[in-house]
Structure 1
Amino acid sequence: MTMKNLLLLLLLFLSLDTSQQFEGEKTENSSDLVRSFRGEQRRTSGTNGTADPSALEELEHLNRSAVEYFTGTLSTRLIPFAYVTAIAFGIPLNGYILGTLIVKVKTFSAAVLYLSLAVSDVLVLVTLTFRVHYHFGGNNWVFGEALCKVVTACFYGNIYCSIHMHMCISIKRYLAVIHPFTYKRLPKHSCSTWSTLTVWAVFFIAMVPELLIRQSYHLPQLRITTCHDVLPNEEKYYTLLLYYRMALTCLGFFIPFIVTVISYVSIIYHLNKSHHDWMCYIKMSTLVFVTFTLCFAPGNLLDFIHSVKLYMSREEYFYIYYNVALCLCSLHCCLDPFLFFLMSRMARSKLHYVTFKGKTISISI
């Protein structure tokens, strides 16, 4: 059975199991929300009896699954422990990669892509330090609304930047193997630079909605202040954010995933037909692709399923599974440096020759 079929069966099992477990927690008056639990907004009156806009910060009436998540071991111990492990290994390794690549940017065309990937990984890990404090503190955010917005936008934006950097790297390798003469003529430094700038610009713009909406709310029921985890079900514009999240998942993951699949499958297929011994590179390409899939696919698939369930049946429990799957995304920040070391070592070990229409050229992949 293929990895794809196993993943689909796992998601089907989770959907059926949790649908029965939380069936009794649905409410008729629940509203569409975006990647979060839902709560009712409590309006506090001012001294003259009118609503006080500055006090619209509290949410109440959480359902049982949300309360169990915020007070349970999963969110207060296991998830932050996974983040701490990723930070401890990922920041030093990516820091070394950055130091190595900075001196090679002008001579190594792919260095721009790898450098951007390392920067994205470091930013993800830095934002995780705030999330670790948040989770270990009982899911209580103490850094204020502004920093909550910045951390949320930076975390998700750089996750998607990392995914697109992998897509760009896979396209570069695809061109080098499948279309070597075209690749040889390309201004590789310019293409890498503009690709990187485009990805960063797109996701900076894409994260603007996360910076505009309120992200932190106080929960009197639990005496904590959450960051991004609970949103009110009364504000109309949060329904629009549901469509925003689904579109962002398609742009940030599904499209680059399809491109990456096509690129690596084509690379492996053509190298297998070659009369040269490419088994080492085929194994490395397979390892890179499998790592990419296992780390990024579960979280993004669960995010999309969560959004669909909110839209179709107002069910929010998949948000718990999504938070667990985010640990795999942080793990990828640790694995990227190792994959870079392996690919760089293999590329330096020998020259690669691609035969095309009776001609042979030397090209480094």
Structure 2
Amino acid sequence: MWALVLLGALLLPGHGLGHGPHTPSDYDEMGQDTGGGGTLEAPAQPRSFPGQLCLNQSHGLALSNRSLELLLGWVPTRLVPAIYGLVLVVGLPANGLALWVLATRVPRLPSTMLLMNLAAADLLLALALPPRLAYHLRGQRWPFGEAACRLATATLYGHMYGSLLLLAAVSLDRYLALVHPLRARALRGQRLATGLCIAAWLAAAALVSPLLLQRQTYRLQASERVLCHDALPQDAQLAYWRPAFTCLALLGCCLPLAAMLLCYGATLRALAAAGQRYGHALRLTALVLASAVAFFAPSNALLLLHYSDPRPGAWGDLYGAYVPSLAVSALNSCVDPFVYYYVSAEFRDKVREGLLRRPPRSAAASKASGDGAGRGSGGATRSSSLL
């Protein structure tokens, strides 16, 4: 849905991402020879805006008129930083507080370890955004150098896909607890939770490691504007970035989403068969699954479309829609705390207890709450976890 709305805004006549209607001559100077090149023809549209290396600049790129219009318009310079700012304002305190409560005031159950790692990944994603936020607010001008550009790009994707892999691990934990409660007593434990967390972090690091190995800062032809990752040489995109991002989308998003669909699908069937008693858990599980698909699927679908047919003009201006859809994916880190932690009354009590120094509830009430939550999740999980 997000992808269709953004793509429609891009393609409506007179409503592009530039600063207003204009004729192709508005950017003609960007397509002229500045000392060695000829008139620039519109190149293919793989992923990042494809550029032609300038003959008189070793790290300069010339872009087509349409790419310039999309690159410098209001969406990447106003809408995208607004979304990233929202992630910082909401995600940073929400995940920081959740991580503190999980680490200090919640029993160290296997599900707690998974949720702690999820909160840490979402927190690190918010902490990785300030350099990219400054880049967009400065009108696509990267001031921090090549090494920082590579690191910022890798951390943005790494923490985002790390969160998705951990969401898949949580879905597996929930599936075992609710669909196979007897088997879960033998399978679920600290060893399995630790292994899932380590596997998620290592997989995310391996998937984004190619982003650290190739140059990503280029100066825009006839300007002092240095771009970070938003414009790359066309040859490098087809030879290097195409396989790198195809693997990232398939293994970092499609595979975890498929695992979540399978695990939560079976969980939903089990909860529906249990009747009204688990109505709240049923609605919450459906919300978790829907939010993951809504936030991650559009940007990765656009990513795969870019690479599915690299012919010139095959997919038009999809990268202009991909940039804001990537920012929307980061919003998932703001939603996670509220559907995984703060939805629990017991978790909210622990937050109030920690912040306001309120005395804990009576032992009898706490015991009743813990017993009820334990029965609802196969006897191995409390209400501090997802259900």
Matched with 1:279 is: 279
Q: Which residue of 2 aligns with 1:103?
A: 104
What is the Cα deviation at residue 28 of structure 1?
7.5
User: Which segments of structure 1 move beyond 4 Å, counting only runs of 4 or more?
Assistant: 11-19, 311-316, 346-349
Quote how far apart the aligned CAs of 1:16 are. Answer: 11
Shift of 1:13: 7.9
Structure 2 distance, partners of 1:167, 1:233, is 35
Specify the code of the residue in structure 2 equivalent to 1:284.
Answer: L
Identity %: 27
1:40 matched to 2:62 = no
Match in the other structure for 1:253:
253
Deviations along 1:199-227, one digit per CA (max 9) or x if unpaired, are 11122122221101001101034431000
RMSD: 3.1
Letter in 2 for 1:324: P
Aligned amino acid, residue 52 of structure 2: E
**Which residue does 1:47 correspond to in 2?**
none
Q: Quote the residue 1:157 is aligned against.
A: 158
SS of aligned partner of 1:321 = helix
Q: TM-score, normalised by structure 1?
A: 0.83
Q: 1:342 to 1:125 in 2, by over 3 A?
A: closer
* Partner Cα distance (1:275, 1:208) in 2: 46
Taking the aligned partners of 2:188 and 2:80, their CA distance within structure 1 comes to: 44
CA contact 1:39–1:232 (8 Å) conserved in 2:
yes
Structure 2 equivalent of residue 51 of structure 1: none
Aligned pair partner of 1:362 in 362, 379, 386: 379
Corresponding residue for 2:302? 302
Q: Provide closer, same or farther for how the CA distance between residues 100 and 78 of structure 1 changes in structure 2, counting only shifts above 3 A.
A: same
Q: Which runs of 5+ in 2 are unaligned?
A: 17-23, 25-39, 348-368, 382-386
Q: Which moved more, 1:296-305 or 1:346-355?
A: 346-355
Change (3 A) 1:7 1:149: closer
Q: For the Cα contact (< 8 Å) 2:264–2:289, is it kept in 1?
A: yes
Partner of 1:318: 318
User: Residue 57 of structure 1 is aligned with which of 46, 53, 59?
Assistant: 59
In structure 1, the residue matched to 2:230 is 229
CA distance in structure 1 between the partners assigned to 2:326 and 2:132 by the alignment = 12
Structure 1, residues 67-123: CA drift from partner, whole Å, max 9, x if none? Answer: 112321111111101111110111111111121122368722112211211221122
Cα distance in 1, alignment partners of residues 77 and 2 from structure 2: 27
What is the correspondence of 1:63-212 to structure 2 with a 5 Å cutoff? 63-103=64-104, 107-212=108-213
- Offset at residue 307 of structure 1 (A): 2.1
Task: Give the count of matched residue pairs.
Answer: 338
TM-score (ref. length: structure 2): 0.78
Structure 1: runs of 5 or more not aligned: 1-5, 45-54, 356-360
